[in-house]
Amino acid sequence: MNQQEQKQQDRQQSIRTLRELIGDIQTCMLTTHSAEAGLRSRPMITARHEFDGELWLFTHADDPKVDEIHQNPVVNVVFAEPKEDRYISISGQAQLVRDQQKAELLWTEGLDEWFPAGPSDPSLVLISVHVNEAEYWDANVKHFSDAVKALFFSSTAPRHDKLEWSQTES
């Protein structure tokens, strides 16, 4: 296996690991830069079943976070399940996408309350978060310090597919 194939295989493994970790946590917290507040988070429903290195979220076009992402696409996504001591931090770049076909593919039941018109709702905007780095803490082991594992994708060239893998302790 050459280096390129190895990287590709590592990437696929990272993606599977992250997908398993997210598991049944359907709601994440998306943190964006806000001119007024500094850093602001809000809960969002994810279309996780499609996770292939990018997270997809749904929002209304007139929501403040759309402007915030437009001004600064650097975001963080948290999945937290304190009752199971499971925490995931995803550092990424957000992109605003209008794509009705994609919205139909990613549609989940929970979204009906937000977009009664369904995936063809003209006010619907997709947020695609390209994962630069992901880190998780899972207390199947006792201490966070033992449990921390990092999935490093690429920290410099998020759109260049230079995905890497390493494990660190913090």
Residues in contact with its own copies by the rule CB under 8 A = 25-27, 29, 31, 34, 36-43, 63-64, 74-76, 78, 80-83, 85, 87, 89, 91-93, 113-114, 132-133, 135, 137, 142-145, 155, 170
CA distance linking residue 35 with residue 71, whole number of Å: 9
Q: How far apart are CA 3 and CA 66, in angstroms?
A: 38
* Cβ neighbour number for residue 120 with a 10 Å cutoff: 10
- Count of CB atoms within 10 A of residue 34's CB? 16
Comparing CB distances to its own copies, the nearer of 80 and 99 is: 80
Nearer to its own copies, 80 or 96 (CB): 80
Report the nearest approach of its own copies to the CB of residue 8 (Å).
22
Distance CA 51, CA 22 (A): 10
Min CB(2)–its own copies separation in Å: 27
* Closer residue to its own copies, CB minimum distance, 7 or 33: 33
* Closer by beta carbon to its own copies, 66 or else 96: 66
Nearest to its own copies of 42, 98 (CB atom):
42
Q: Are 167 and 112 in contact (CB under 8 A)?
A: no
Beta carbon of residue 85, minimum distance to its own copies (angstroms, whole number): 8
Backbone angles phi, psi at 69, to 5 degrees: -70, -35
In whole angstroms, how close is the CB of 159 to its own copies at the nearest point? 14
Q: What is the largest CA-CA distance in the chain?
A: 50
* Amino acid (one-letter) located at 155: S
Shortest separation between residue 152's beta carbon and its own copies, angstroms: 9
